[in-house]
Amino acid sequence: MENSYIENSENCAAKEPFALRVQDSSMEPEFENGCIIIIDPSISPKTGDFVLFEKKDTIILREIHILDENIELKPLNPEFSSEIIKDKDYKTHIIGVVTQRAGKKGHIIRNTDKKKRDNSRLKNATNKGKVVGGN
């Protein structure tokens, strides 16, 4: 099963961050089906980043591993397969890097930078008075 993440992005500026809803389980447990992710198209990916990647007529979310001129796109869910993209122009297929994720209801914001995993909750991400409910 492949993902189709972009529901409606025609109103977004080309290099501005945007939000999408994950629509399958290929990246569980980190990105649950239905959670919201923030994609930043202006960031250049590095190994270990989570990227939105355009592959033929499909958009997929994967962890990227850069191998010289090729890349490996890895799902986190072992029920899905990794794939090697043998294309020195692979960067033209990367839509952006995931910078944050929120639960299905969008209340908890989490930084996806692996270097900050031990303290991944963002402080002062929003005004507490504007948050209703929880995950």
Average pLDDT over all residues of the chain: 77
Per-residue pLDDT, averaged over 61-89, amounts to: 92
Would the pLDDT of 132 be above 60?
Answer: no
Residue 73: count of CB within 10 angstroms of its CB = 20
Say what the pLDDT of residue 133 is. 40
Would the pLDDT of 71 be above 60?
Answer: yes
Residues 65 and 48 sit within 8 Å (Cβ to Cβ): yes
Token pair of 66, please?
A: 């850069």
Residue 41: count of CB within 10 angstroms of its CB = 16
Say what the pLDDT of residue 47 is. 96
Per-residue pLDDT, averaged over 40-69, amounts to: 93
Distance between CA 99 and CA 117 in Å, rounded? 12
Token pair of 128, please?
A: 């507490």
Say what the pLDDT of residue 72 is. 96
CATH homologous superfamily for the domain 18-115: Umud Fragment, subunit A (2.10.109.10)
